[in-house]
Amino acid sequence: METGTSRVKRGMAEMQKGGVIMDVMNAEQAKIAEAAGAVAVMALERVPSDIRAAGGVARMADPTIVEEVTKVVSIPVMAKARIGHYVEAKVLESMGVDYIDESEVLTPADEVFHINKNEFTVPFVCGAKDLGEALRRIQEGASMIRTKGEPGTGNIVEAVRHLRLIHGQIRKVQNLSKDELFNEAKVLGVPYDLLLQVAEAGKLPVVNFAAGGVATPADAALMMHLGADGVFVGSGIFKSDNPEKFARAIVEATTHYTDYKLIAEVSKNLGTPMKGIDIKTLSGFDRMQDRSI
Amino acid sequence: MKIGVLALQGAVAEHIRGLEAAGAEAVAIKRTEELESLDGLVIPGGESTTIGKLMRKYGFIDAIREFSAQGKPLFGTCAGLIVLAKRIEGQDDAHLELMNMTVQRNAFGRQRESFETDLDVKGIDEPIRAVFIRAPLIKQVGEGVDVISTYKNEIVAARENHLLACSFHPELTDDYRLHAYFVNMAREAAERRG
């Protein structure tokens, strides 16, 4: 009997496919998310849009929040640790969190090194803007990848950019000869063996979700259309006028992302979506996606 | 044999690969009308609460019960096992309520307790590699249910006539003997239907 194997950790993410993972800040929101059909909840102290508004250093949530959420739902509970913050991750693991997001939404604890996720029993998800980042995180032990997007903006454009780029780069390496692949590994800054796996399989060796800026059911469906395995929704749901209805609408649009009549139906009267932020107005410092490479 | 994989949420592609490797034609099923042409249906691993809700929403509960009433085989893995069960511990109602057994969700604990191991399965020669992820257990089986695998004296796979269920994930390995076992069940059922 073996726990924490790569198959067990990656397999956990496979079971989330086609689903929606929702940010929640307390037990009550967690129950709403579960009732709406979320496949997992991300327990947080503040959603990304509030982190953005508040400024300052964003850290791992108060363990009380994680504990409360864990008590009230039967679906998996995820929580965020700062990039490179080994101890926050160990604390979350010790609390029985089912998946850790080593996340750029929080202020990085280390601007160079990520956590060595291979030595954990609990699986990790990490953000990526391109194939190089995705494979570096997988080499460090990430069992799931998500686009970084630009969290808390309600603007899907960066998530679209990242997913398109990753898929475009995968298609490119599929067409490279072995000798070209050696050089491409060097250019991308990734291990050759991992890149070869991607070239042969035509996909990442782990599940790849969309995250960062999903604000409407149609946004979620767009990411599925572009080939995401599932969707993270952060600030959108509990910042909306009717979180229950909004959450259900996102779940249905994700499952039936090619059924446009259904998406029209579930999108009716959802109230005002997040106002959103034009990415061009963000200064370098405010771009969470640039916090790691 | 044409086998469907219920594709509302979960590990659909892996089952399709497994069924194809076992010689069947495999298709993802998102609507009830697509059930008609099938010889069997797999309910995959995923989140049982999510799959259950979406099944209710889109009329799959009645449609799959009818499918089963025609003697067409069903195979539930992990969440799929929970969905097939007549009774779920700690809950007043279950989902399809087809298979005469009581299941316990997340029976091994949280994700850090998830594991893989080798298991003997009745009807399959050599042990298979079984991956348990936040897995359920079959705590009790009623009349007509044949226990086909146990782990530490707990039931992890069972069969009741045309219904097959296991708490682990055969679709996460490259060993598709359990898929072949199910495709064979579908073949026998099709022969009986004539």
Answer yes or no: do A96 and B115 touch at CB < 8 A: no
Query: Which site among B112, B113, B154 would you substitute to test the A interface, given the most A Cβ atoms closer than 10 Å to its Cβ?
Result: B112
The mean pLDDT value for A143-167 works out to 96
Does residue B12 contact residue A16 with C-beta atoms inside 8 Å?
Answer: no
Does residue A187 contact residue A153 with C-beta atoms inside 8 Å?
Answer: no
Answer yes or no: do A74 and B113 touch at CB < 8 A: no
Give the pLDDT score at A52: 87
The model's pLDDT over A20-76, given as tens digits with 9 standing for 90+, comes to: 999 999 999 999 999 999 999 999 998 888 888 888 899 999 999 999 999 999 999
Q: Which residue in the block uniquely carries the two structure tokens 């995923």? A: B46
pLDDT tops 90 at residue A285? no
Answer yes or no: do A18 and B8 touch at CB < 8 A: yes
B/e letters for B21-41, b = 16+ CB within 10 Å, e = fewer, are: bbebebbbbbebebbeebbbb
The mean pLDDT value for A99-128 works out to 97
Those of residues 142-181 in B touching chain A at CB distance below 8 A are 169, 172-173
Q: How far is A188 from chain B (nearest CA, A)?
A: 29
With CA atoms as reference, the chain A residue closest to B14 would be A14
Answer yes or no: do B57 and A252 touch at CB < 8 A: yes
pLDDT tops 90 at residue A286? no
Q: How far is CA B110 from CA A93, A221, A229, B76, B164, in A?
A: 10, 30, 23, 21, 25
The mean pLDDT value for A140-158 works out to 95
The mean pLDDT value for A132-140 works out to 98
pLDDT tops 80 at residue A16? yes
Q: Which residue in the block uniquely carries the two structure tokens 């070209």? A: A180
Q: How far is B111 from chain A (nearest CA, A)?
A: 5
The model's pLDDT over B13-24, given as tens digits with 9 standing for 90+, comes to: 999 999 999 999
Residue A226 CB coordination number (10 Å): 16
pLDDT tops 80 at residue A273? no
Those of residues 2-61 in B touching chain A at CB distance below 8 A are 7-14, 30, 45-47, 49-50, 53-54, 57
Q: How far is A9 from chain B (nearest CA, A)?
A: 8
Q: Could you give the angle at the alpha carbon of A50 between the alpha carbons of A165 and A116, nearest 5°?
A: 55
Q: How many residues belong to chain B?
A: 194
The model's pLDDT over B23-71, given as tens digits with 9 standing for 90+, comes to: 999 999 999 999 999 999 999 999 999 999 999 999 999 999 999 999 9
Q: How far is CA B135 from CA B69, B81, B155, in A?
A: 28, 10, 12
Amino acid at B104: Q
As a whole number of Å, the CA-based R_g of chain B is: 15
Average pLDDT, chain A: 95
pLDDT tops 90 at residue A240? no
Give the pLDDT score at A282: 87
β-strands B74-77, B99-104: how paired? unpaired
Q: What is the pTM of this model?
A: 0.96
Give the pLDDT score at A48: 87
Query: Which site among A10, A15, A95 would you substitute to test the B interface, given the most B Cβ atoms closer than 10 Å to its Cβ?
Result: A15
Give the pLDDT score at A105: 94
The model's pLDDT over A185-219, given as tens digits with 9 standing for 90+, comes to: 999 999 999 999 999 999 999 999 999 999 999 99
Give the pLDDT score at A284: 80
Active-site residues of B, by number, are 78, 169, 171
Q: What percent of chain B has pLDDT over 70?
A: 100
Of A116, A54, A130, the C-alpha closest to A83 is A116
CA–CA separation, A97 and A42 (whole Å): 10
pLDDT tops 90 at residue A85? yes
Give the pLDDT score at A35: 97
The mean pLDDT value for A93-105 works out to 97
Q: What is the ipTM of this complex?
A: 0.95
Give the pLDDT score at A53: 87
pLDDT tops 90 at residue B150? yes
Which residues face B87 on adjacent strands? B102
Average pLDDT, chain B: 97
Exposed (0-12), middle (13-18) or buried (19+): which is A193, by Cβ within 10 Å?
Answer: exposed
